[in-house]
Chains A and B, each alone.
Chain A
């Protein structure tokens, strides 16, 4: 395939894993720093921290909106095309919230409003964290049971772990909050990221032939798999961004980031470890 050529033969296992390992280390530092400052690895959005989100299509400018909502704990206003505006407020008490909804329904009757209370947000956050941890453990068990060899299984689990950690770090860097939608995206990423790793491991361990042939064959198939998904997700991102569909925009952005890191982790980290394992005498 002509998109770009990648010559796995050329590099030693050490050279392959060094870039992703450095990135993983940096990502872990970012997550640790954010955890210390906000109490969670990724800055929580209103789903988890409590607050109100308003989506409205209006010709009013951000400054006009800021003046309009001056009496309320406004956090941010983001703009899309076609006059779409996405306004966020931090948590407020019931009376203030009622006056806000009254103001919105009088001024912008076509708005969409979502409000999450602080304690409810906390419950959601705890459950989401449990879901991510359980999903990851479950995935690891399936991988170990399927391959029944220690090092290749570890390589798959490590790549999936690196995918999630790097994606989470990137979310912090570009300011995508952790919400119900992005939690779902991270979980979906667990499924996606092991896809190509499983293909790679099966091809290398269960097929006859020269290692480098098997690696480049797997790469050939794997990269097209990831690029079809990338293409679908990229379309989703563009359409949801143009149309100001906030939830879908966040989900697709996280998936896109995750898939890019997945290419890196599958074809550098996982290949590196697998190559080292096979040349050391493991496998067939």
Chain B
């Protein structure tokens, strides 16, 4: 190509967009040498390609749509008692029952308490799921710098049935221990000055309610002590003088050696403790939004890392470091070989380096842009995603062939006018094909179908980048080359 033509090429907006995106992508991927002199990038890898373990947990709980003629609070209290389970009100027509029952098992209980089940779904409400997510995240974070992800999988009707925990760098046994581990929770009482004495441990707390607000607008978290716990609590309160002088003998809640809550006994509780032990009490946090947030945090602390509902392992997996590295090598080899092979097929067809070279380069640039996108959204690449990327190489080349053939139709070198008409026609074909791929992948991208979501998103992105950026740029470049 003549130098001035090359200069013109770099003034075209299609080509400029492509170059800009390529630069941004390389910045996002950020290939560099780390402190040890090893080559590395910002790309993150899923558990297929590095050492790690994942656990998929199923909630042993259900959300039920119901009707009742009874007042809601009485109905819920009675139901909770007869089922021996926590029952939470989700909204006007839905209850969350935090113990596993089948629909058939539940129906007689609803009937005797004066209600009817309209629909039944295993899982928890969105709010509970968010709580569980933060409990799990807190727990994993307290274990140090493990690279972990916790995702709840929301199904239809906003009921969450599964939560998926992925941890890099651990094996299956470690993963199970971390998820199953409970924190050390203790209640201590101020004796003299800054001295405190042990009252009880977390095992004495039998249940924890969700935060609630009194009619005065005061937030708090209710909890229940075991019989022995209530006895120990009363004895300590009397022995250290909390019943007579509450303000100088505050009660502190400590989780893993950190004080998470501290307050004096209320006057009501102090006087009732003098006569008998109390099993259920409320830790209040005051009024306002800050108090509400504190109450939410306190609920999690009171549970000491225990989840509000039981979970069952629905699926799990782990990859060792050596197999992860092996898969990575294989993918690299497959990737490079695929590009080279496609290049050969194209060369066999056109026998013209001036066409083949831009095609392969455009194809490679699509991959670079996609990798940049993957880095930017911090998506973890796994094996299906890599298969998707290689598929993008295949479709990408297809579309470039459509453009080239459309333009070369009936002899070579069309006039600019005819050229533009043909390019438009080629782009129509490409648009329709792209639309079908996007539509076909959309259900997968929107559903929480485990690992396939990423694959679908990457494929859709690949198609969009191709249609909007790389293929129009190719059209411009190939025109300039052919009209030599």
Contacts and interface: CB of A to CB of B under 8 A. Distances in A.
A45 to B, nearest CB: 13
Given A190-B436, A224-B345, A235-B334, A247 B383 contact: yes
B441 A191 contact: yes
B341 interface: yes
A187 B438 CA distance: 11
B15 to A, nearest CB: 24
Q: How large is the interface on B (under 10, 10 to 19, 20 to 34, 35 or more residues)?
A: 35 or more
Given A119-B58, A183-B452, A251-B384, A135 B439 contact: yes
Interface stretch (A71-79, A126-134, A165-173): A126-134
Given A57-B326, A232-B393, A120 B441 contact: no
Contacts of A255: 391
A217 B409 contact: yes
Q: How large is the interface on A (under 10, 10 to 19, 20 to 34, 35 or more residues)?
A: 35 or more
B16 interface: no
Interface string B440-463: 111110011111100110010000
A134 B319 CA distance: 33
B349 interface: yes
B275 interface: no
B449 A128 contact: yes
A276 B330 CA distance: 47
Interface string B352-396: 000000000000000000000000000000011011101101110
If over half of A's interface residues share one DSSP class (helix, strand or loop), that class is named, otherwise mixed; here it is: helix
B383 A195 contact: no
Interface in B377-420: 383-384, 386-388, 390-391, 393-395, 397-398, 401-402, 405-406, 409
Nearest to B447: A127
Interface string A117-152: 101100110011011001110110111001000000
Interface string B305-318: 00000001111111
Interface stretch (A5-13, A21-29, A30-38, A198-206): A198-206
B433 interface: yes
Contacts of A127: 447-449
Task: Name which of B173, B433, B448, B459 has the most chain A CB atoms within 10 A of its CB.
Answer: B433
Interface of A: 1, 55, 57, 94, 101, 105, 109-117, 119-120, 123-124, 127-128, 130-131, 134-136, 138-139, 141-143, 146, 180-181, 183-185, 187-188, 190-192, 194-195, 198-199, 202, 206, 217, 220-221, 224-229, 231-236, 239-240, 242-243, 245, 247-248, 251-252, 255
22 contacts: A57-B322, A57-B326, A113-B317, A117-B58, A120-B56, A143-B436, A181-B383, A184-B387, A190-B437, A190-B440, A195-B433, A202-B429, A224-B405, A229-B395, A231-B342, A232-B342, A232-B397, A235-B338, A243-B330, A247-B48, A247-B383, A248-B334
Interface of B: 48, 56, 58, 155, 161-162, 171-173, 312-323, 326-327, 329-331, 333-334, 337-338, 341-342, 344-346, 349, 383-384, 386-388, 390-391, 393-395, 397-398, 401-402, 405-406, 409, 425, 428-429, 432-433, 435-437, 439-444, 447-452, 455-456, 459
